[in-house]
Structure 1
């Protein structure tokens, strides 16, 4: 039986990766920071370590066939930044994989990274990808367009009564469900792909996303379009007037909102269903995944 080591296992995608590899009959090792918070993971063994501290990783990848890293931060905490986690922690994982002679390392990146240089989150990821592609082992880069969970912001605005868009709302995205992305990741690795730009089965304009959110709530759409110069001005101003934990993710999302984010269509799950589950979760207390 083959063994996979999943980093970022307790994150949105990491949980799906663990479940997908268990479904495929792999032995799943899940890297976690706190075992007590990861008891519900679909895995064979929890490995408690800090990827930012390379000494804690020593020996954790013995006899591992594949490392899949979805490790990264969107909202910075614990005094750690993108360079500490998205770059250095992943580099620590890569170095341990090399020491343990792991034959294959896969990493979850971001679509259109080459067009988003200068955004700290993207720069950290892209710099790690450069290191990975130079390394002496097989590698697969998965670059998703966006997650269903990211689209929950549209639902949140619709619940509040109005969705605010930049420009004409025509930029398109095909976000992907976590389970579909985990399956696409495993498929790409099995197929020996070196790189996969990937999204879900449906493509939406930003206007269509707003309309879908209102439709899921059973409300008429109320959309306000702001001039795109406001988005560009916010990109320039936010780093000067907000803390890093605010402007870091904002820079990424505002930049992504200024371009099409459409990858190869994969998966079967639909965003409308995700929105309905999120709405239902208000009553059940579930997370709506």
Structure 2
């Protein structure tokens, strides 16, 4: 039985990766910071360690055929920043994978990183990708367009009665469900791909997503379009006026909102079904 080591296992995508590889007959070894958060994780083994502290990683990948990192942060509750986690912690994982002689290292990146190189989150991820590609290990980089989980904010706005958009709302994205992304990742690794840009099956404008969220809520809500210069101004002002835990994720999302985020469509799960399921559960 082959063994996969998954970092970021308790996150949105990480849980789906664990389930996907377990279903494929792999032995799943998950890296977790807190065992209490991992009680329902579909993994055979759980290693409690912190990727930001390389000494805790010693030996955790021994015998692993494949290492997958979905490790990253969108907020910094414990004072760590993107260069601490998205770059250095992943570099620590890569160093341990090299020591353990793992066969391949797969990393979850972000689509259109080259167009957002001035965004700290993206810059840190891109720096790690360069280190990974230069390392003496086979690698696969997965660049998703966006996650279904990121769309929950639109559903929350619809529930409040108003969805706010910037500009015309014509920018397009094809977000992907975590389970579909896990399948695409495993397939890309099986095929030995070095890079995969990937999105979900439906290419939607921001207007389309807003309308889908309103339909899922099942009651009227307004769509209000703000001038796009406000989005651009926020990118300049927020880093000066707000703490990193606020402006860090905001910079990424505001930058992504200003462009198309469309990749090769894959998967079978649709955003309108996802919204309907969340609305029925009272989420959003």
After TM superposition, the score normalised by the length of structure 1 is 0.97
**Which residue in the other structure is 1:9 paired with?**
9
Q: How far, CA to CA, are the matches of 1:218 and 1:156 in structure 2?
A: 13
Structure 1 position 87, deviation (Å):
0.3
Partner SS, residue 224 of structure 1:
strand
Instruction: Give the superposition deviation at 1:221.
Output: 4.5
Any idea what the Cα deviations from partners look like across 1:85-114, whole Å, max 9, x if unmatched?
000000000000001111100000000000
What residue number does 2:263 align with?
A: 263
Which residue is equivalent to 1:69? Answer: 69
2:49 corresponds to which residue?
A: 49
Any idea what SS the aligned residue of 2:237 has?
Answer: helix
- Residues 173, 262 of structure 1: 8 Å contact kept: yes
Structure 1, residues 11-65: CA drift from partner, whole Å, max 9, x if none?
0000000000000000000000011220100010000001000010001111100
Q: Is the 8 A contact 1:211 1:221 kept in 2?
A: no
Question: Which SS does the other structure have where 1:264 is aligned?
Answer: coil
Shift of 1:272: 1.1
Distance in 2 separating the partners of 1:163 and 1:50:
38
Match of 1:216 in 2: 216
The residue that corresponds to 1:108 in the other structure is 108
In 2, Cα distance between the equivalents of 1:74 and 1:152? 15
Show structure 1 runs of 5+ residues with no match: none
2:118 matches 1:118: yes
CA distance in 2, matches of 1:82, 1:126: 11
4+ long deviations beyond 4 Å: none
Kept in 1: contact 2:161–2:220 (CA 8 A): no
Which stretch of the first structure deviates more once superposed, 216-225 or 65-74? 216-225
1:239 is aligned to 239
CA RMSD of superposed structures (Å): 1.0
The answer to whether 1:157 aligns with 2:152 is no
Higher mean displacement: 215-224 or 67-76: 215-224
- 1:106 is paired with a residue of what secondary structure? strand
Please list the CA deviations of residues 236-270 of structure 1 after superposition, one character each: whole Å capped at 9, or x if unmatched: 00000111000000000000000000011110001
Unaligned runs of 5+ in 2: none
Q: Normalised by the size of structure 2, how large is the TM-score?
A: 0.98
Counterparts of 2:151 and 2:35, CA distance in 1: 29
| Partner residue, 1:172 | 172
Q: Aligned with 1:131: secondary structure?
A: helix
